[in-house]
């Protein structure tokens, strides 16, 4: 499975867009990119996933570069409740296997 | 729908004792995962079941950890004997059909402290 690289931490002002980058330069053609987040004392929560095209749901948008070597998770209007650790994961051909890195700690500030 | 249920929420034991965790996945989810999450790190996969068969247990310390998923529904993870380095949160997750790229849904975990 492809490994991912994320910044250790990021800050964002409340009400502004939070853009979280992820590098997955060794991604294979059939591997999806998934994003999860983990709020303190809770299990990871699924946010969004994509293969090639940009995706949007009620929580966030996912922008995947054309060469698929990197992606960006966008929280359009960050709130204090979005403070969490965000994990970018690439899932390989072994059905369901996901390797989590240490994620990005996003702190949304008033 | 009901989420992934785990119990107990917290457990404190002394080293060399044994402990067991229980997980009830989302109804109809064929795949079940156990992860270990050490403080400050991302979750590490211990074992993955597809129905009641093991798909991947390559990172399970088999000399002390065991897991089973009887009847392809509930699962238990056991540690015997526990070591200090086993202090962590143990997360259970399930997914509907990972071959169709369905995401994993996680429980809130069991926080294990070894004294």
Is B62 or B71 the better-scoring residue by pLDDT? B62
Q: Which residues of A72-96 are buried (b: 16+ CB within 10 A; e: fewer)?
A: bbbbeebeeebbbbbbbbbbbeebb
How far, rounded to the nearest angstrom, does the alpha carbon of residue B16 sit from its chain's CA centroid?
Answer: 20
What does the pLDDT average to over B71-76? 91
Over range B6-11, report the average pLDDT.
97
| Residue contact B42–A101, C-beta within 8 A | yes
How many A-B residue pairs are in contact by the CB < 8 A criterion? Answer: 61
Q: Are A100 and A91 contacting, i.e. CB atoms less than 8 angstroms apart? A: no
Give the tokens for residue B89. Answer: 């949160």
Distance CA B61, CA B38 (A): 15
Q: How high is the pLDDT of residue A15? A: 97
Q: Is residue A32 within 8 angstroms of chain B, CB to CB?
A: yes
CA distance B110 to chain A (A): 10
Of B42, B91, B107, the CB nearest to A102: B42
Q: How confident is the model at residue A91 (pLDDT cuts 50, 70, 90)?
A: confident
Beta carbons of A37 and A44 less than 8 angstroms apart: yes
The arithmetic mean of pLDDT across residues A8-25, rounded, is: 96
Checking if the pLDDT of A94 tops 90, the result is no
Task: Name the band, by pLDDT with cuts 50, 70 and 90, for residue B12.
Answer: very high
Mean pLDDT, chain A, integer:
92
Question: B61-70 pLDDT, tens per residue?
Answer: 999 999 999 8
Q: Do B78 and B47 form a contact (C-beta atoms < 8 A)?
A: no
Cβ contact A43–B108 (<8 Å): yes
* B58 contact partners, CB below 8 Å, separation of at least 6: none
Q: Is A98 on the interface with B (CB under 8 A)?
A: yes
Ranges A1-5, A53-57, A69-73: which has the least confidence: A1-5
Alpha carbon distance A108, A110 (integer Å): 7
Measured between beta carbons, the chain A residues lying within 8 angstroms of B25 are: none
Identify the closest residue of chain A to B10 by CA–CA distance.
A41
Mean pLDDT of A62-72: 96
What is the model's pLDDT at position B11? Answer: 97
């Amino acid at each position: 499975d492809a490994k991912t690289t994320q910044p250790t931490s990021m800050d964002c002002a409340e009400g502004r867009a939070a853009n979280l980058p992820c590098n997955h330069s060794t991604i294979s053609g059939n591997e999806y990119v998934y994003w999860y987040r983990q709020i303190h004392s809770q299990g990871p929560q699924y946010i969004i996933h994509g293969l090639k095209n940009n995706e949007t749901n009620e929580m966030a948008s996912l922008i995947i570069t054309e060469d698929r070597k990197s992606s960006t998770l966008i929280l359009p209007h960050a709130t204090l409740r979005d403070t969490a650790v965000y994990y970018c994961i690439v899932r390989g051909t072994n059905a369901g296997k996901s390797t989590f890195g240490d994620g990005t700690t996003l702190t949304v500030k008033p | 729908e009901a989420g992934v249920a785990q119990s107990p929420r917290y457990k404190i034991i002394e080293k060399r004792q044994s402990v067991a965790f229980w997980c009830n996945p989302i109804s109809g989810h064929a795949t079940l995962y156990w992860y270990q999450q050490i403080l400050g790190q991302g979750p590490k996969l211990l074992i993955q079941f597809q129905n009641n068969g093991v798909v991947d247990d390559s990172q399970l310390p088999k000399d002390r950890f065991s897991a089973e998923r009887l009847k392809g529904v509930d699962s238990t993870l056991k540690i015997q004997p526990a070591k200090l380095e086993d202090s962590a949160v143990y997360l259970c997750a399930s997914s509907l059909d990972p071959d169709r790229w369905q995401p994993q849904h996680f429980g809130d975990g069991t926080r294990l402290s070894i004294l």
